[in-house]
Amino acid sequence: MSSISSDTQARSGSNIFALIDCNHFYASCERVFQPELENRPVVVLSNNDGCVVALTPEAKGVGIVRGTPYFKIKHLIKKHNIAVFSSNYSLYGDMSCRVMSNLSLLSPEVEIYSIDEAFLSLDGMDRSELISYGQMVRKAIRKNTGIPVSIGIANTKTLAKVANHIAKRVREHSGVFVMLEDSLREEVLKGMPVGDIWGVGPRNAKKLNSIGITNAWQLTQLDDKWIRDKMTVVGLRTVEELRGNSCLDLEMVKEPKKSIISSRSFGTPVESLEHLLEAVSTYCWIATEKLREQGSLARRILVYITTNRFKEEPQYANYKEIELKAYTAYPPDFITPVSDALTKMYRKGYKYKKAGVMISDIIQEESAPYDLFEPSYNDDKRSQVMECVDNINKKWGSHTIYFASSGIKKEWQMKREMLSNRYTTNWNELLKVKA
DNA sequence: TCTGGGGTCCTAGGACCC
DNA sequence: TCTGGGGTCCTAGGACCC
């Protein structure tokens, strides 16, 4: 068997996948707790109040586009009375858990694909029941969580994505679209720009357009060799899926992360080494917290700093990757070498905009190699201390305990000027009901 | 004044080994 | 005039996703 066919081998039998996608998820989360926003345009901004990451159809209707910097749409905000929010990840994360746990009650086979999407396997379900099942799921999620969802159902994950696209946009389907017949698939794919397909990014779309391929149906008719050469096996898999041959299985078990990033843009430019050290020390803390949460240890860390590339001012960026002596999840084991590296790469006189760390070479605790010369993380006090710290922070809120090297005042912290309350995860910010 | 953050996978090319 | 060949491992960079 050639490597091409084994890479993209289709599963036999007929599969049915549903993609459940929360509508403009972050904006919907905000609406749940402020129902008066129901028919008003709502946008949610990225970290640092940078650009638009989520927006309701009403906001799209007045010409706002996802990804646009906030300062460029301020005039529209005022003119159309748009509600604006800073990202509130504690809220969205918690709302996501609610949606997903509801889904797992409704179906035994669920893959949580992202914060606002899940795939379900509906293999074996009667075709005639699919629409009503979809409607039932929609109603249940809406009722139990307040979040509106759209559902696309088809024979492959990629086609379920396509179906979901239709469910979201064509009102008459009321949020559920089933696309199983070949003729329907052909009709829908012919009307779908190739760049809107899951897995075909802007680069590939451009390549395809340049040879005259503009819709998704044309892509399915293309020669396999061309696809493989220009779009790798990944692209070929996508095309097979569009042809109705399932190549991507439902992944129900969550794999531990292979890299963990923590980085932020600063609220205001940072010039001093001292503040940069505080920031990266905080990022090391956050990243190792995630590392411990998934029961992992790591041995590599990369630290970087950069000035603002959008500005016409002296630019400087640098990074350094460090290999630690042994696998660990203890913050100081990372903070110490990272601080040394940062001190060496720091240049005075620049306005730094962003810094970050990335942890890699991650393994599960159980499989940590035994080292003759280095004490192992699990056997010494470091793991016990961190377990204790993590428990306290879990119980009393993150950052109840943290390292002094992270700074106390944190003048460099990001801007979040339009933050809503953490209605679901903080006792002091619960929704108040008027008596 | 103001342009996000966090991930995955694939490939090509170099280093190194026998 | 000739200058192996194949395997493996690692890394950087590119492309994609939400």
Token pair listed for A13: 């039998």
> What are the distances in angstroms from CA A263 to CA A20, A88, A132, A268, A302?
30, 16, 44, 15, 11
What's the pLDDT at A433?
A: 73
Task: For residue A255, give the nucleotide whose C1' atom is nearest its CA.
Answer: B8
A2 vs A357: CA distance, rounded Å? 40
Residues with CB under 7 A from strand C: A 113-117, 161, 197-205, 321
Measure, in angstroms, how far nucleotide C1 C1' is from residue A229 CA: 37
A216 vs A6: CA distance, rounded Å? 24
Measure, in angstroms, how far nucleotide C11 C1' is from residue A302 CA: 14
Q: Who's near A352: CB < 8 A, 6+ residues apart?
A: A266, A269, A270, A271, A276, A305, A306, A307
| Cβ count near A132 (within 10 Å) | 10
- Protein contacts on strand B: list nucleotides below 7 Å from a Cβ: 1-11
Task: For residue A360, give the nucleotide whose C1' atom is nearest its CA.
Answer: B7
Tell me what percent of the residues of chain A surpass a pLDDT of 90.
Answer: 80
Question: What tens digit of pLDDT does each residue of A157-185 get?
Answer: 999 999 999 999 999 999 999 999 999 99
- pLDDT above 70: residue A435: no
Task: For residue A201, give the nucleotide whose C1' atom is nearest its CA.
Answer: C16
Question: What tens digit of pLDDT does each residue of A386-424 get?
Answer: 998 888 888 877 777 777 777 877 778 888 889 998 888
- pLDDT above 60: residue A128: yes
- pLDDT above 70: residue A12: no
Measure, in angstroms, how far nucleotide B14 C1' is from residue A361 CA: 21
Arithmetic mean of pLDDT, A320-332? 94
Question: What tens digit of pLDDT does each residue of A298-325 get?
Answer: 999 999 999 999 899 999 999 999 999 8
The rounded mean pLDDT for chain A is 92
What's the pLDDT at A372?
A: 72
Measure, in angstroms, how far nucleotide B16 C1' is from residue A250 CA: 40
What's the pLDDT at A1?
A: 35
Residue found by looking up tokens 């972050």 in the block? A26
Measure, in angstroms, how far nucleotide B18 C1' is from residue A370 CA: 30
- pLDDT above 60: residue A8: no
From A8-12, A238-242, A279-283, A319-323, the region with the lowest mean pLDDT = A8-12
Tell me what percent of the residues of chain A surpass a pLDDT of 70.
Answer: 96
Q: Who's near A44: CB < 8 A, 6+ residues apart?
A: A26, A27, A30, A52, A53, A54, A55, A84, A85, A86, A87
Task: For residue A236, give the nucleotide whose C1' atom is nearest its CA.
Answer: B10
What's the pLDDT at A6?
A: 45
Q: Which band of pLDDT confidence, cut at 50, 70 and 90, is reported for residue A434?
A: low
Arithmetic mean of pLDDT, A336-356? 95
Whole-structure pTM value: 0.92
Q: Are A116 and A127 in contact (CB under 8 A)?
A: no
- pLDDT above 90: residue A426: no
Measure, in angstroms, how far nucleotide B1 C1' is from residue A422 CA: 28
- pLDDT above 70: residue A5: no
